[in-house]
Amino acid sequence: MKDRIRTKKLFRKKEEEKMKIKRQCCMMALAFVFALVMALPQTVLAVGTQARTTISNEATVDYSVNTAAQPTLYSCETSACNNTASTETTDFLVDRKVNFTVTNVDSDPKIGAFSNTTATFEYEINNLGNDWFSFDLSNGYVDTSSILDNGLAQQIFLDDGDNVFEGGGDDILYASAATFGDYSANEAFRVWVTAKIDADAANGDTADNSLTAVAREADNANVTGDTLGNALTPGAGAGTGDDYAYADAGNDNSEVLASMTWQIGAPVINVQKTDGVHASSPFAVLVPGAYAEYTITISYDAAGSGTAGGISISDNIPANTRGVPNLYGGTGDVQRSVVVNGGAPTVTNLDSGDPDLSNWGGSSAQPAAGTGILVNCGAAFVLDSTTDSCTITFAVEIL
């Protein structure tokens, strides 16, 4: 008897273990299926079925009389009928769903520059509706610091696809909703909003910008009465394919991206020039025959913003002196030291053959008073933080 009970318990335990394994397998299978479904491309519901697509449907009725099956009846749309064959479906056309967004491509704020410079913002308009639409665009400004030149046009340009502002080049200037053409469902385009900076703009000054888009008719022969750029025209009623409903954020066919800010960002550069006695001077004081050494340093001031590039330093050999060659590294006429982001200085001894040094003369030349030497800080060098600097050093002999 005890053996029988023990056997039953063992059997029950094994059955429970089997069920546990089955449940685990089912959970793993469900998890795998869920992960597989999520990995599949998802349908973009924002667009939906294309406008003017025909949706067809037909109902059937089966019945009996005195248990005898009767012929199947098929529905009609235009009137009640008792057709025993399919002759007329109930159809409607999908109407137009007006939905779109306006987003900024540029970060905020956009750094501008000084007088007559074109300040730009790039926006993207995305047609999330189910039909072709054109778009009426308008821009507005709140010129907080009076930095914009109101005598010059504030304009909108259609980007040609390279995301580079080329006003007057490949980019098209906006005039009306018809200017930029029409766009199909789920199609996006980018525009540049531009303005000119006024002469009295100062570092830190700002102006706010906004862009408003409104959907308009497309140039589509399938919609009766369509004229590119015209206001949306209602159709003959729901299901005609020409009627529409607003599905944009405010359900009002008007999307505004406001409070984008232009901020004047001009780098403030400090220049310092010092003099002293070169270590190899034959005299320790600055008497005729001694070598006077000049050190010129340019650096970034904390009050600035933006980036300065293409930096060069010019200096004239002063009267009653002449340049001293080969004082730096044996053959260098000018020494250049560049610091980037507070790192170790990059020291280069420039001679007359170096493209970053101009007007020194030959390898042993001693440029005379009035000679304007020119030193480039390097093609890749920029000033955009207080930890950047460029220093040049050269010597002259006192005559």
List alpha helices for 131-194, DSSP H: none
Closest alpha carbon to 248 in 106, 103, 98, 51: 98
Please give the pLDDT value at position 161: 87
Per-residue confidence of the chain (399 residues) as pLDDT tens digits? 444 444 444 445 555 555 555 555 545 544 544 444 444 434 344 578 998 899 999 899 999 999 999 999 999 988 888 888 888 888 999 999 999 999 888 765 555 555 557 778 889 999 999 999 999 998 877 776 666 766 556 788 999 888 888 876 778 888 888 889 899 999 999 998 887 777 777 777 777 778 899 999 888 665 556 788 888 888 788 988 888 899 999 899 999 887 677 777 777 899 999 999 999 999 999 999 999 999 999 999 887 777 888 999 999 999 999 999 999 998 899 999 999 999 999 999 999 889 999 988 877 888 998 898 999 999 999 998 899 999 999 999 999
Using DSSP, state whether 28 is helix, strand or coil: helix
Please give the pLDDT value at position 34: 45
- As given in the structure block, the two tokens for residue 303 are 């009050």
Closest alpha carbon to 184 in 145, 212, 219: 219
Domains 97-263 and 269-398 share a fold: yes
Using DSSP, state whether 5 is helix, strand or coil: helix
Close Cβ partners of 177 (under 8 Å, ≥ 6 residues apart): 134, 135, 136, 137, 214, 216, 228, 229, 230
Where do the domains of the chain lie?
Answer: 54-93, 97-263, 269-398
CATH number of 97-263: 2.60.40.10
Sign of CA dihedral 149, 153, 158, 160: negative
The model's pTM = 0.62
State how far the Cα of 181 lies from the Cα of 163, in Å rounded to an integer.
18
- As given in the structure block, the two tokens for residue 109 are 């704020």
- CB-CB contact of 190 with 165 (8 Å): no
DSSP E strand stretches across 181-237: 188-196, 206-216
State how far the Cα of 388 lies from the Cα of 370, in Å rounded to an integer.
30
Please give the pLDDT value at position 201: 73
Classified by CATH at the fold level, domain 269-398 comes out as Immunoglobulin-like (2.60.40)
Q: What residue has token string 């199609």? A: 187
Residue count of the chain, please give it.
399
- CB-CB contact of 255 with 210 (8 Å): no
Please give the pLDDT value at position 304: 77
Closest alpha carbon to 374 in 292, 313, 306: 313
Q: Which neighbouring-strand residues pair with 294?
A: 275, 394
